[in-house]
Amino acid sequence: MPTTLTTDRPRATTLFRPAAAVLGHQERRVLSAIGCGLRDDEIAAELAVPEDTVAEHLARILVKLGLRDRAAAIVHAFDCGLVVPGRGPRPRSAGPASLTVAARAPGPGPVPKVRISLLGPVRAWRDGRLIDLGHLRQQAVLAALALGAGRSLSQQQLLDDVWGMEPPGTNVVPVYVYRLRKALHDGAGPRTVIERGRGLRGYQLVPGAVDVDVAHLRELVTGIGKATRAGEPLEVVRLCAQALKLFHGEPLAGLPGPLAELERLRLTERRIAIVRRKVEWQLRLGQDAEAIDELFALTAAHPLDEPLAAMLMRALYRDGRQAEALTVFERARRRLADDLGVPPSRMLRRARQMILRGDEAGLGLTPPAGAGIGTGP
């Protein structure tokens, strides 16, 4: 059974955290396998070690990187470059991952006519008109190509990403690619959005021809990190708001396949991290009402997320709503007991105790002037 470790510290953000600097060789291999979605028994078989050893490695990884649980480790494996969407483990010699399909090619050229949205149900527009992308498996092929960031994906990679352990009985990938080409093409000239890769192997989106919302999200996250380091709270809040507007429901909603499953988890974690970053700065700027509304919506969607519940408790207490803050604790305690059979973490219990004592400094409501919050979300 997969290992999960919950630490007492608040969940650390996973973006821009270098695994190579703190993990040993075997721990990097375990983290890479976790990022690829393997279970502990599968990792044990792959590395020829006992399953208990894998669990021990995972426990050390979570502690060293300050990660909350296995889900956060999966996100970190992608963000630090150990795993690339659609490509499995990343070779050591490879450069940093980059979702840059949406970026225009250098020099003069037409604005991309096709927009693809993955941060919700998969949708595409050509010249502002919604495109019929066919059934879900076909949409999943397009999503894999969009997440591939301009890299060539072989038919086997697409089969693994979209069908996993249940491949279709016939060679359907070329058929789906043909249909997608027809759907995405505007009928004016021979240019296609999906082309053959180098050596006519595999498929890829034509660089500069497609605008993908996930690429915009990554650019905004980079800007959030820069604004945070520069101590520009209003700019952080503005960029966070722009990033959150890109989401239109659950990322890759309803799409089948291992890749969609992993990316759905990673992008959901990214969204939560951005909301937390935005709320932290809103509270520091005195925008309590906006922060509380955001936190209520997010805790309703993620009722088992203890750091979010603790943040909502602190915000409500700061707004003079102590009774509501304690109600949030009780609701989280019951949900944890009913769904997971576990008590609240020390972090959540500590927030409750500090509210009862009126310990504003301990609740982090009076940060020192100019205090920053580290790297990007």
Q: Does pLDDT of 209 surpass 70?
A: yes
**CB proximity list for 252: less than 8 A, separation 6 or greater:** 118, 122, 143, 260, 263, 264, 267
Choice between 256 and 60, residue whose per-residue pLDDT is larger: 256
Q: According to the model, what pLDDT value does residue 33 have?
A: 82
Which one-letter amino acid corresponds to residue 51? E
- Which residue, among 223, 261, 264, has the nearest Cα to 242 in the 3D structure? 223
pLDDT digits over 7-38, tens only?
Answer: 333 333 333 345 556 888 888 888 888 877 67
Query: Distance between CA 183 and CA 175 in Å, rounded?
Result: 12
Q: Is the Cβ–Cβ distance between 340 and 304 less than 8 Å? A: yes
Query: Which whole-number Å values give the CA distances from 174 to 81, 146, 159, 198, 242, in the listed order?
Result: 29, 16, 11, 17, 37
pLDDT digits over 92-110, tens only?
Answer: 333 333 333 433 334 444 5
**Cα 107 to the chain's mean position, in Å?**
31
The structure's pTM equals: 0.64
Q: According to the model, what pLDDT value does residue 97 have?
A: 36
pLDDT digits over 113-131, tens only?
Answer: 799 999 999 999 998 899 9
Q: Does pLDDT of 45 surpass 90?
A: no
Q: Which of 254-268, 337-351, 360-374 has the lowest mean pLDDT?
A: 360-374
Residue 188's CB is within 10 A of a number of other CB atoms, namely 7
